[in-house]
Amino acid sequence: MSVSALVHAELERHDWAALRCGCGESAEHVPLMFEAILTAGTPQDMIGYTLDNHLEIGTNLFEAAVPAVGVILAALAGEPSSLARRHLLDTLCHLVSGDSHATEQALGRTGLGDECRARAREGYWLIARIGLTGGADDAETAADICEFIDLDDERSGYYQALLREHLSAKTKRRRKG
C-alpha cells in the first residue's frame, strides 16, 4: 500500500509541529503515524503506529484531532487496506464522539469536538458509502459516525437504519458462511 497524493497534500497542509498531541509532545510525528498505518500490510506493521493516545485519549480530544479528520477523510476517499480502513474509521468515530481534553479546555480550546464533527460532515457521503459497501464492522461504525455528525434528524435516522440493516445482513451472512 502507498500513501495517496491527496493524503500527502492534506498532511502537508498543516503545521503539525505547532499542534498539541495527546502524548504530551507536539504533533510533529502524527504524519509519520498516518503513513505507517496506510502502508502497513499486517497488524504487526502497525505496532507503535496507532493514533490512539495522540489525537484523543478516551474521546478526550487534543488540538491535532481537528486537522486529522481531514487526513482520515482523504485516506478513506482512496482505497486503503481493510486494516487501515478499520483503524481510521474507529479513530474517526472517537474523534466525532469526543470533546476537548481538560488540558485543551484550560488553553481555551473548548470546541474541539464540534470542530471535528463539522469537518467530518464534509465526508458524510463518503462515510455512508463505506458503511453500505463495506463489511459489518464498517457499517456499524459508519452508522455511529452518522449519528454524531448529521444535523438532519430525518436523514440521519434513515441512514442509520439503512446502515444497521446492512450490518444485520452482513452479520447473518458471516454466521451462515
Pairing, β 99-100 against β 60-61 = parallel
User: Residue 163 half-sphere exposure, CB side, CA atoms within 13 Å?
Assistant: 25
Record the pTM. 0.93
pLDDT tens for the chain, residues 1 to 177:
689 999 999 999 999 999 999 999 999 999 999 999 999 999 999 888 889 999 999 999 999 999 999 999 999 999 999 999 999 999 999 999 999 999 999 999 999 999 999 999 999 999 999 999 999 899 999 999 999 998 888 988 898 888 888 878 777 666 665
Domain boundaries, the chain: 1-122, 124-177
User: Closest Cα partner for 16 from 66, 69, 64?
Assistant: 64
